Amino acid sequence: MSKDHDKSRPLPHTERTVGIPFTTPLISGAKARLAKGGAVELLVPNPSGARGYYVMDLRATREFCQLSVHDEVLLENLLSVDAVTPATVRRCARNVAIAGSAGRDAAAAAKKAAERDDGIVNLTNYLMLMRLLRKVGIDEKELHRSAGEDKAVQNEIKRRLVALTPKIGLTADEVIDTVGDIAFYASAIGFAGSELGNRHPVVLEQLRPFAQAITRWSALESGDNKERAQQIADCADWTHREVAPLIVDCQTRLEDITELVRTWRDGRDDVRERFALPDWLLDGWPEILAIWQAAAGEDRPMQRAAIAQIHRLLPLDKALAEEGKVEVLRLDASVQRSRSVKLHEDWKSGSMMAGMRARAEALRAGVA
């Protein structure tokens, strides 16, 4: 497993980045990554719209610009977590939205998304246990007939799992706990052919139609707008090519829960890494897809503003995999105190972006 796993990993863990859903214009599209010594660095896109990123300690974000209330609360949440990953950032963003920092609609959307994800985790856990029981000839209907109430069903599941403990090398309680741990990661992948609407297959399915739509849109553009659109479409296609086989691999492993539990027992870090990798590669895409969906019915100038916003939000995985590093810019006092007009803050592009930022703040809560 380790040998195959190394081949499927596009980037070392220390080079991966996760998008931070800040709403302050100057740090929109910022990414976080692990630095030496366990610190977390923030990569902020060049405010001019040109290539390159300013790099700073996450704790120094307030010194770079004046944060919105939403971003102040989000930053506090981020600084309190043990590790910055797509899952922890998603949880932080939801906590901020549920607390009301992005408005009532966003709070309701975030609460609904959290409840839905919890439900899919619980259902995945249950389905995995049912697959284990089928190994000893017990189906779901028989289980419920013999046990009845929910508590009795749980006790019956535990009793029946005893028959599998010699094969797996774990007690029934340990098997149940292990399945619960795996289900947390597997719920975003889902079983092959599942109709639960699991997070990663749903996002993956939208990437190629999105890339095609952006390519069609770019046919009437020229210059920077056309170049940005082409880069967006290329990144979406690249992400689809990278993630599709990873999801298939994980779903194949979910076909044999007994072996998966045994593998988790022998090397849980490898299993966790394999199931978590699509989350890193798909990070940021739900928000990007939502922004374009909202802009699709707008006029051309609004769509150009959406393309510019999406371009800042693009994940860095493709660039890092192909170029090997991020172009870093020197951060000095002139950046923080400059009076020059910055991207999305002049009278024209700023007015278009203001409404889009408000909508994006609400969209983030629903897609987090």
Cα-to-chain-centroid distance, residue 92: 12
**Helix segments in 15-103, DSSP class H:** 61-64, 69-79, 86-98
Interatomic CA distance for residues 176 and 128, integer angstroms: 10
DSSP H or E segment with residue 242: helix 223-253
Sheet containing 31-34: which strands, arranged edge to edge?
18-19, 31-34, 40-45, 53-57, 328-329
Amino acid 25: pLDDT? 86
Confidence of residue 135 (pLDDT cuts 50, 70, 90): confident
Q: Which two tokens stand for residue 214?
A: 């952006």
pLDDT of residue 139: 67
Q: What per-residue confidence (pLDDT) applies to 329?
A: 79
pLDDT of residue 65 exceeding 70, the answer is yes
Q: Tell me the mean pLDDT in the region 217-237.
A: 95
Residue 54, pLDDT above cutoff 80: yes
Mean pLDDT value across the chain: 83
Tell me: pLDDT of 356 over 90: no
Phi first, then psi: give them for residue 43, nearest 5 degrees: -105, 115
Q: Considering only 5-19, 103-117, 151-165, 337-351, which range has the smallest mean pLDDT?
A: 337-351
Does 140 have pLDDT greater than 70?
Answer: no
All structural domains of the chain with their residue ranges: 2-367
**pTM for the structure as a whole:** 0.84
